[in-house]
Structure 1
Amino acid sequence: YATSPVCTPSRAALMTGRYPQNTGSISNDLPMLDEMETFATVLAREGYDTGYAGKWHLDGPAKPGWAPARKFGFEDNRYQFNRGHWKKLGEDENGPKVAAVNAKGQPSYDVAGADETSFTTDFLADRAIEFVTRKRDRPFCFMVSIPDPHGPNTVRAPYDTMFDPAPFRQPGSALATGQKLPSFAQVLQDRFNSRQMALYFGMVKCVDDNVGRLLAALRETGQLDRTIVLFTSDHGDMCGEHGRYNKGIPCEGSARIPFVIAAPGLIPPGMVIEEALGTVDFKPTLLGLLGIGTEAKMEGRDASELFRKGEAPADWVDRAYLRIGGTGKGASGWVAAFTKRHKLVL
Structure 2
Amino acid sequence: MILNKLKQLSILIAALAGLTVKAQETSQRTSKPNFVFIMPDQWRGQALGFLGIEPVMTPHLDALAKESHVFTQAIANYPVCSPSRAMMMTGQLPLENGVWSNVNSATAPYGIELAPDKICWSNLLKEAGYTNAWIGKWHLDSPHEPYVPTYNNKGKVAWNEWTPPDRRPGFDFWYAYGTYDRHLRPMYWDTHAKRDEFKYVDQWGPEHEVDKALEFIEQLDGKTPFSVTLSINPPHSVYSHVPDKYLAMYKDLPVAELAKQPGIPAADTEMGKLYRNTIQQYYAAITGVDEQIGRLVKGLEDKGLMENTVLIFLSDHGNCLGRNGEHAKNNHFEESLRIPAMIYWKNRIKPNMDNKSLFSLLDLYPTILGLLGVEDKQSVPGTDFTDLLVHGKPVNVKHQFFMGRINPRNKSGGFRGIRTATYKLAYVKNRPVDKSQVYLYNVANDPYDQQNIADTHPEVVKELTKELKVWLKKANDPFLSDI
TM (normalized to structure 1)? 0.85
CA shift at 1:308, angstroms?
A: 2.2
Task: Give 1:344's aligned residue.
Answer: 425
Report the CA distance shift for 1:96/1:123 in structure 2 as closer, same or farther (over 3 A): farther
Do 2:251 and 2:280's aligned partners in 1 also have CA atoms closer than 8 Å? yes
User: In the alignment, which residue of structure 1 is the partner of 2:182?
Assistant: 86
How many residue pairs match? The answer is 317
1:273–1:310 CA contact under 8 A, matched in 2:
no
* Deviation of the 1:151 alpha carbon: 0.9
Q: Please give the alpha-carbon distance, in whole angstroms, between the structure 1 residues aligned to 2:350 and 2:372.
A: 15
Tell me which protein shows more helix as a share of its residues.
2
Taking the aligned partners of 2:348 and 2:189, their CA distance within structure 1 comes to 42
Correspondent of 1:142 among 228, 237, 254? 228
Equivalent residue for 1:74, pick from 136, 153, 171 = 171
Which of residues 1, 6, 31 in structure 1 aligns to 2:113?
31
- Mapping of 1:265-344 within 5 angstroms? 265-272=347-354, 274-313=356-395, 316-324=396-404, 326-328=406-408, 330=410, 332-344=413-425
Q: TM-score, normalised by structure 2?
A: 0.62
Among 123, 127, 143, the residue aligned to 2:212: 127
Q: Structure 1, residues 168-188: CA drift from partner, whole Å, max 9, x if none?
A: 2215333589xxxxxxxxx98
Query: Which amino acid in structure 2 is aligned with residue 158 of structure 1?
Result: K
Q: Specify whether residues 91 and 287 from structure 1 end up closer, same or farther in structure 2 by C-alpha distance, changes over 3 A only.
A: closer
What's the CA shift for 1:92?
Answer: 10
Deviations, residues 108-138 of structure 1 (Å, cap 9, x unaligned): xxxxxx5xxx111111111111112223220
Please give the secondary structure, in 1, of the residue aligned with 2:207.
helix
Q: Which is greater in Rg? A: 2
| Identity score, percent | 28
- Which structure's relative contact order is higher, taking Cα pairs within 8 Å and 6+ residues apart? 2
1:191 aligns with 2:265: no
Equivalent-residue separation in structure 1 for 2:260 and 2:420 (angstroms):
24
Aligned-partner Cα distance in 1 for 2:261–2:239: 22
Superposed, 1:186-265 pairs within 5 Å as: 190-265=272-347
SS in 1 for 2:199: strand
Q: What is the distance in 1 between the residues matched to 2:101 and 2:361?
A: 15
Cα deviation for residue 298 of structure 1 reads 1.3
| 8 A Cα contact 1:133 1:217, kept in partner | no
DSSP 3-state at the match of 1:150: coil
Q: 2:244 is paired with a residue of what secondary structure? A: coil
With 242-251 and 188-197 compared, the bigger mean Cα shift is at 188-197
Relative distance call for 1:311 and 1:251 in structure 2 (3 A) is: farther
Structure 1 SS opposite 2:288? helix
Specify every segment of 5 or more residues in structure 2 that has no aligned partner in the other structure, as ranges.
1-74, 104-111, 145-158, 428-483
Q: Which SS does the other structure have where 2:179 is aligned?
A: coil
The residue type equivalent to 2:212 in the other structure is R
CA distance in 2 between counterparts of 1:176 and 1:146 reads 29
Q: Distance in 2 between matches of 1:172 and 1:244?
A: 15
Deviations 1:231-268 (A, max 9, x none): 11100000232132210011110010000110123211
Match of residue 250, structure 2, among 157, 160, 163: 163
Distance in 2 between residues matched to 1:38 and 1:262, nearest whole Å: 22
Gaps of 5+ in 1: 100-113, 178-186
Q: Secondary structure at the match of 1:208?
A: helix
Tell me by how many angstroms 1:317 deviates.
2.8
